[in-house]
């Protein structure tokens, strides 16, 4: 059967709380600059109390990617878990208002909607501290198998691997997609996340993934090397298509025994790196869904990423369709 949806994303449904801080704040609070660190409810409370005033904006890696896809003109759906609380309401509103299909029932008990406390430093780097809340309890029952089977591409967030039940949900979604003859995509999400799940992911990539997204530190972490070229060679043995991002150095696509190097799109001022990888994936997947060649897919990824890093927050502020031409 022909797919009726371009992409479905599976991920942690998170509201971002974004503050601008100086580097001293990062050091003083023992934060892992540039990384995503999981924190519990108590730490979330104490860290929040010490943060400057912030703004709240919907986030979540795969959700950002789906919002970007919708903004580009692709059809996108999302699977993730919120509570029936105010932040959950914000998350659902923003995703639907962005044009992404979202129908997972909000949890009526358990922990609150996930939040990510993000510190943006003057160098535009973002440091993320995530309290997963109920998002970690996305379970196999929350996976709408018909929706997954209807999507040309199923895009899963590596972050979800940190919780056993969510991992089951992802594995289930990947299986449904494979059985329906669809493309399965995974983003490695975070170098520390890679470190926690290396062996399992090497198997998963080899057996179940057609398209992988990773930045330089993630792909190097996967193969425990400092040598990007070596890591790029290694991933080529496991996965059909790898889209490897290198910040201002652009991206490298490894596929069909070839490497395609695509420059980053120019940005007049980088304000907040949050969402750069997520939106790169939006552009790339949009190209794939349209049958573009890989170089053009990467170019679309670069354009979408350039928009997102030029402002605070990880959701597009303009219709991305106007940028990719």
Positions in the binding site for its own copies (CB under 8 A): 17, 20, 48-49, 51-58, 67, 85-87, 90, 93-95, 97-98, 112-113, 313, 315, 317
| CB nearer its own copies, residue 61 or residue 215 | 61
Q: Work out how close the CB of 323 gets to its own copies at its nearest, in angstroms, rounded to a whole number.
A: 16
Residue closer to its own copies by CB (options 34, 54) is 54
Residue whose CB is less far from its own copies, 63 or 222: 63
Q: How far is the CB of 285 from its own copies (least distance, A)?
A: 19
Check: CB of residue 283 under 8 Å from CB of residue 321: no
Helix ranges (DSSP H) in the chain: 23-28, 41-50, 61-72, 86-97, 145-150, 164-179, 191-208, 216-222, 228-238, 276-289, 294-308, 321-324
Distance CA 142, CA 196 (A): 25
Q: Per the structure block, which two tokens stand in for 105?
A: 């029932």
Query: Min. distance of Cβ 231 from its own copies in angstroms?
Result: 36
Q: Which is nearer to its own copies, 85 or 210 (CB)?
A: 85
CB of 221 to its own copies, least distance (A): 32
Distance of CA 73 to the CA centre of its chain: 18
**Burial letters 65-100, b for 16+ CB under 10 A, else e:** bbbbbbbbbbbbbbbbbbbebebbebbbebbeebeb
Closer CB to its own copies, residue 39 or residue 294? 39
| DSSP element (H, E) containing 36 | strand 36-38
CB closer to its own copies, 48 vs 137: 48
Strands 76-79 and 101-102: parallel
Nearer to its own copies, 91 or 161 (CB): 91
**Smallest separation (angstroms) from its own copies to the CB of 317:** 7
Single out the residue of 67, 33, 50 nearest to residue 314, CA to CA.
Answer: 67
Helix (H, G, I), strand (E, B) or coil at 158: helix
Cβ 56 to its own copies, closest distance in Å? 4
Smallest gap from Cβ 94 to its own copies, in A, equals: 4
């Amino acid at each position: 059967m022909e797919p009726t949806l371009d992409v479905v994303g599976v991920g942690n449904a998170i509201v971002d709380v974004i503050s601008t801080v100086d580097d001293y704040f990062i050091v003083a609070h023992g934060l892992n600059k540039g990384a995503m660190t999981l924190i519990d409810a108590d730490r979330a409370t104490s860290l929040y109390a010490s943060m400057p005033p912030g703004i709240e904006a919907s986030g979540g890696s795969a959700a950002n990617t789906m919002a970007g896809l919708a903004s580009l003109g692709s059809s996108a759906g999302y699977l993730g878990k919120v509570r029936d609380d105010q932040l959950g309401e914000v998350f659902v509103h923003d995703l639907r208002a962005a044009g992404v299909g979202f129908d997972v029932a909000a949890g009526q008990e358990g922990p609150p909607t996930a939040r990510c406390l993000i510190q943006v430093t003057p160098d535009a780097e973002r440091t993320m501290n995530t309290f997963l809340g109920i998002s970690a309890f996305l379970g196999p029952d929350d996976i709408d198998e018909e929706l997954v089977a209807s999507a040309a591409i199923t895009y899963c967030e590596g972050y979800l691997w940190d919780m056993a039940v969510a991992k089951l949900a992802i594995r289930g979604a990947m299986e449904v997609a494979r059985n329906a003859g669809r493309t399965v995509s995974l983003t490695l999400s975070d170098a520390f996340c890679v470190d926690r799940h290396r062996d399992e992911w090497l198997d998963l990539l080899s057996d179940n993934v057609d398209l992988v997204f990773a930045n330089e530190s993630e792909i190097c972490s996967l193969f425990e090397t400092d040598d990007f070229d070596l890591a790029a060679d290694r991933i080529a043995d496991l996965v059909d298509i790898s889209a490897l991002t290198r910040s201002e150095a652009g991206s490298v696509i490894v596929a069909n025994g070839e490497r395609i190097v695509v420059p980053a799109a120019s940005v007049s001022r980088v304000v907040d790196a949050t969402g750069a990888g997520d939106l790169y994936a939006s552009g790339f997947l949009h190209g794939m869904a349209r049958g573009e060649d890989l170089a053009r897919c990467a170019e679309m990824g670069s354009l979408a990423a350039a928009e997102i890093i030029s402002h605070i927050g990880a959701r597009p502020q303009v219709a991305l369709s106007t940028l990719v031409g």
